[in-house]
Chains A and B, each alone.
Chain A
């Protein structure tokens, strides 16, 4: 994600060969802002009186063991450190209804800063875009900052007869492998299929795999012939030579030697990515929100956290709270464009 040749979603006019993207500028600004705020508040991390000795729960809307759980558990101690000595930050798993229970818990929480949550984009955007009944509204949440972001890669098996994107587009039968309906991966797959004009071939969507690793192994086994995976999870299968990457989303390739969709002529797929961001309930007091956002920025700039994140293979791509809120708005606009392509391909 740290590529230097990225077209930015915030400023599409920025040329692809410009040295820095808006996102990387954003990241640098985050660090600069964190450093400045540290200077202004002295060496001791700023604690806010409203949060003195508070216990803050970061709601993970899934069961322990997944990527969200890992991210929050790695981040919580560093966030607590930046909020002041008496503050405790605890991960709290609230699984249920495909994450909606946890999201609703954050949405309905008292806006006192003691209940925050981690949200997956576009995972939590999609039900709203598709008009499903949900007990939250992402646009009303108080966004504290983005932790992770990663691009998608289009994959085929190394044993496949197909060699490149043109072969995939020319193939008679396309069978995509993916997780179930409502997942970010299936939505990304459907969007890519639409843009590559593969929907004309009535592709099979072999959805319902339990996780990313499951369908990538299915691709190696030959259950289907094409899949779209988040770059970090797919990397190990690419490095082992089991899977072959054909193209990546984003403005600059996060996989050396692999072209971006933009370079192959599908520029509107550049914005397709997967993000994990932290938010609190709607109506957080402005001062409290600023405290949380500043602590967030200092935590993500903490070299110890960066080392932990690298170790834990987090796709760290910090973004400040206000920019994260703008990103959410853009996600809605982006996915609304593809709304008609996002219906369940296996609906009875």
Chain B
């Protein structure tokens, strides 16, 4: 193993290869920060460029993109309440309130640092669990996947503050998640005769509508810039370094976020959105003095950002060892690997150890470079929050619709974005948690498919869910997620007495 690591490090440090990495990082930051584009589009666009490259160079370029995308995506989540990529959605919950308080620099500093360190911790964990990774992947059959989705949904609904509104938002999310062709039952649901809806609603236009467009509509209503602070440059610069320091002051949040990200990343097909939301809700429920979560607690930025970079490390295992992509960008990355003659599968971990380390190192260096770039440019980026809404709104709306269209080149996605923009605006006005809708939407497919598969496996006997150890552990964690807020409330009441 050390030999492969040194071979990979030596290869990566060579001039042209390092150049590919930097190119990947630059593309990753730009595509990550523009809502709708994201890592999958970046990888697909750069794919033809890799034809003339050596396979390991292509891996480095793609590693650069994947390492940088989520850090880029956090910037628009914090400044505009618009996640650049789906896993950044959880960062909006506390990142945007911080921006409104004039603390955008603090949030960006914390996000970039947490992402970078989260990535490093995850890769450390990854190297350690590599020998047993296969076993972990095999723990998750349909019953465990179902229970994992239940755990994710429960934690988020409980963390949403108002339980009833959280439940209503979750139901709306589940409903929209069920739109499309059900390939187990063999029926098209809620497609109202439109072919476009057969494949369901895509997450990206939904996010663009629910966050970017809805936020701009709301900004139009309130007027003025996003940031309530009139203070100029000094707050932002100082804030960035404070953000870096805040990560080290909250090491527990950072480590738990990274660990959750890595483990969720390991589970094939779950993806970074669930990882960052679970990490957020874990931090919100288990931290002391958690009353500020949701209204601008820096730990609410650190936890999801640590998780969403950490998940990349974990997600490499199912992608490389089993050829099961955990996300859209991993699916396209898989295509890149195969086009270059690297066939993901059980033998890859043994046959091409150095390529895996190359990818791990590329991700690591990309995370650090992109973190550095964001930190040094935070001062300028934070100015966005001070732009007058009359200038900002048309720009963001245009980019949002172009982003929605660019995803699949389909006008249908633009309509979806517009619809969810209006729904998001209504939810803001009546104080319904949009994040809960998103997580329910993301989990709906996973939850339904695995529930039906489990019931087919168990021949209708639901009690057999508890015969599977992984499922039982996840069920107990779900109970804990329900009980922790109650216990905390009882404790608080006692202490106030």
Residues of A participating in the B interface, judged by any CB pair closer than 8 Å: 63-66, 69-70, 73-74, 77, 92-93, 95-98, 100-101, 104, 175, 179-183, 204-211, 213-214, 217-218, 220-224, 233, 236-237, 239-240, 242, 310-313, 344, 346-348
Tell me the complex Cα distance, A62–B459, Å: 33
10 A–B contacts from the bound complex (CB under 8 Å): A63-B328, A65-B332, A182-B183, A208-B183, A210-B324, A214-B324, A218-B142, A223-B142, A347-B185, A348-B187
**Are A346 and B343 in touch, CB under 8 angstroms?**
no
- Select from chain B the residue with minimum beta-carbon distance to A92: B409
CB proximity of A132 to chain B, nearest CB, Å: 10
| Pairwise interchain contact A100-B198, C-beta atoms closer than 8 A | yes
Q: Which 5 A-B pairs have the closest CB atoms?
A: A180-B183, A236-B345, A65-B331, A97-B198, A240-B346
Neighbouring B residues of A92 by C-beta, 8 Å: 409
Residues of A within 8 A of B269 (CB): 210, 214
Cβ of A217: which chain B residues have Cβ within 8 Å of it? 137-138, 268, 322, 324
Bound-state Cα–Cα, A310 to B343, Å? 11
Number of chain B interface residues as a range = 35 or more
Closest B residue, CB atoms, query A132? B186
Q: Which of B232-240, B433-441, B450-458 contacts A (4 or more CB under 8 A)?
A: B450-458
Can you name the residue of chain A whose Cβ is closest to the Cβ of B333?
A65
**Contact flags (1/0) for B137-152 with A, using CB distance below 8 Å?**
1100110000000000
B179 shortest CB reach to chain A, Å: 13
B450-492 contact mask (Cβ, 8 Å, vs A): 1 or 0: 0011001101000000000000000000000000000000000
Query: Is B131 an interface position by the 8 A CB rule?
Result: no
- A152 to B195: give the CA distance in the assembly, Å: 31
* A207 contacts B184, C-beta separation under 8 Å: yes
Q: Which residue of B lies closest to A242 (CB)?
A: B346
Hey, which chain A residues are within 8 Å of B338, CB to CB? Answer: 70, 312-313
With an 8 A cutoff between CB atoms, is B422 at the interface? no
Bound Cα distance from A213 to B186, whole angstroms: 21
Q: Are A183 and B339 in contact (CB under 8 A)?
A: no
Residues of B within 8 A of A (CB): 40, 44, 47-48, 51, 137-138, 141-142, 181, 183-187, 195-196, 198-199, 268-269, 322-325, 328, 331-332, 334-335, 338-341, 343, 345-347, 408-410, 449, 452-453, 456-457, 459
**Complex contact B186–A346 (CB within 8 A):** yes
Task: Give bound CA distance, A223 to B345, whole Å.
Answer: 19
The A interface is mostly helix, strand or loop, or mixed, namely mixed
Alpha-carbon separation in the docked complex, A180 to B408 (Å):
23
A297 CB to nearest chain B CB (Å) = 23
A101 touches B339 (CB 8 A): no
Residues of B within 8 A of A63 (CB): 328, 331, 408
Would you call A311 and B328 a contact (CB within 8 A)?
A: no
Q: Is the CB of B322 within 8 A of A73?
A: no
Does B195 lie within 8 Å of A101, measured CB to CB? Answer: yes
Q: Please give, as numbers and ranges, the residues of chain A lying within 8 Å of B331 by CB-CB distance.
A: 63-66
In the complex, which of the residues B40, B138, B340, B346 contacts A64, with contact meaning CB atoms closer than 8 Å?
B40
**A205: chain B residues within 8 A (beta carbon):** 456
Decide if A312 touches B328 in the complex (CB within 8 Å): no
Nearest Cβ in chain A — how far from B89, in angstroms?
Answer: 21
Question: Could you say which residues of chain A place their CB within 8 Å of the CB of B141?
Answer: 218, 221-223
User: Which of B183, B268, B453 is most buried by chain A, counting CB atoms within 10 A of its CB?
Assistant: B183
**Given A180-B184, A206-B453, A211-B324, 18 other A-B contacts at CB below 8 A?**
A63-B328, A64-B44, A69-B335, A73-B48, A101-B198, A180-B183, A181-B184, A183-B183, A206-B456, A207-B184, A209-B453, A213-B323, A217-B322, A217-B324, A240-B346, A311-B340, A311-B341, A313-B341
Residues of A within 8 A of B341 (CB): 310-313
B183 pairs with A213, CB closer than 8 A: no
Q: How far is the CB of A28 from chain B (nearest CB, A)?
A: 26
| Option from B47, B332, B345, B452 in Cβ contact (under 8 Å) with A208 | B452
A96 with B199: CB separation less than 8 A: yes
Contacts of A97 in B (CB 8 A): 181, 195-196, 198-199
The chain B residue with its CB closest to the CB of A217 is B322
Partner of A181, one of B186, B334, B449: B186
Contacts of B138 in A (CB 8 A): 217, 220-221
Known interface pairs A207-B183, A311-B340, A348-B185; A240-B345 also in contact (CB < 8 Å):
yes
> Which residues of B sit under 8 angstroms from A239, Cβ to Cβ?
347
A313-B48 in contact (CB<8A) = no
State whether A346 and B268 are in contact (beta carbons under 8 Å apart), knowing that A100-B195, A220-B138 are contacts in the complex.
no
Q: Is the CB of A182 within 8 A of B186?
A: yes
Find out whether the CB atom of B346 lies under 8 angstroms from the CB atom of A73: no
Asked whether B346 lies within 8 Å of A237 as measured between CB atoms, the reply is yes
Chain A residues in 8 Å Cβ range of B40: 64-65
Please give, as numbers and ranges, the residues of chain B lying within 8 Å of A175 by CB-CB distance. 457
User: Are A236's CB and B184's CB within 8 A?
Assistant: no
Q: Are A214 and B268 in contact (CB under 8 A)?
A: yes
**Known A64-B332, A180-B183; contact A213-B48, beta-carbon cutoff 8 A:** no
